[in-house]
Amino acid sequence: MFNNKSSNPQILKPFHSINCNGRLVELNTPKIMGILNLTPDSFSDGGLFNNEKSALQHTENLINDGAEIIDIGPQSTRPNAEFLSSEEEVRRIGNMISLIKKEFPETLISLDTFYSETVKFGFNEGIDIVNDISGGQYDDKMYHTVAETKLPYILMHVNPSYEVMHDKIKFEDITLSVNQYFSEKTNELLEKGITDIILDPGFGFGKTVEDQMKMIGEVQYIGFEKFPLLIGISRKSFIYKPLGKSPLDINDETQKLHIKVLQQGAKILRVHDVAETKKTVDEFLRTSLSKI
């Protein structure tokens, strides 16, 4: 199930870059996005980093381990999580964005939210990327707000409302459905003037185990290389549940899947275990460069 061979490996291509507050970030080599959950109820690390001291220490650890992007999440989106308002998200974030920017000015900060008001707050605090799991579907002002900030936007494939976010859908052709969604949404974004777009296929959101494994094998076809791909499979249930393991006990399997998506052109890996992922990325680059 976790074969890491690819019939069509992509060696450091296609080339992509994003403009983060005037800073051109090249994605010709993969980037690691480390997860910082400022929540008491995230499924694998809830409550561990929801104060300034622990959050800053965790951020430093992620950066030292190899993360170039820190993804700040003020709200858990696991199944049955508590639904929070934008006001509560902002309260949880507090000064964390500005503190991280002060301590680690070269590190990019991504803000994981589906609220336009939280984006406005984050932009004023210094975020570099908007990571919206809703594809603009949970707040009709999201696209307009992102366009005003001119920040890169992570577009994720997900069900059309918060209430059915995790309802499992058996797609006739998962890759075709994801690509149709991305085609429609990217056209909307481009019309709004949002050109720095990153695509996230939405592993862990409303998809069967079988469809998610099918997507792993077809990453090279998602988005047709028009925009960079972000893959977020860290500690996801489609990996650990079939194996009868816990979210914290699937590192080997996850890294094999990381290799597989890197071979197919993935540009950003969103992960909890940065150090292990850094080893995987380094090995991928070493092996790929040796073939050139």
291 is an active site residue: no
Catalytic-role residue among 270, 279, 286, 291: 270
53 is an active site residue: no
**Rounded CA gap, 19 and 195, in Å?**
9
Helices marked H in the chain — which ranges?
52-65, 86-93, 96-103, 116-125, 142-149, 174-192, 209-217, 237-243, 251-263, 274-290
**Rounded CA gap, 79 and 208, in Å?**
14
Those residues whose C-beta lies under 8 Å from the C-beta of residue 272, and which sit 6 or more positions away, are 34, 35, 44, 45, 234, 235
Cα 58 to chain centroid distance, Å, stands at: 18
Those residues whose C-beta lies under 8 Å from the C-beta of residue 24, and which sit 6 or more positions away, are 17, 18
**With the C-alpha atoms ordered 147, 149, 154, 158, is the resulting torsion angle positive or negative?**
negative
Here the tokens at position 161 are: 């409302």
**Rounded CA gap, 136 and 210, in Å?**
27
Which residue type, as a one-letter code, is found at position 44?
S
Catalytic-role residue among 236, 256, 267, 278: 236
DSSP 172: S
Enumerate the active-site residues: 236, 270
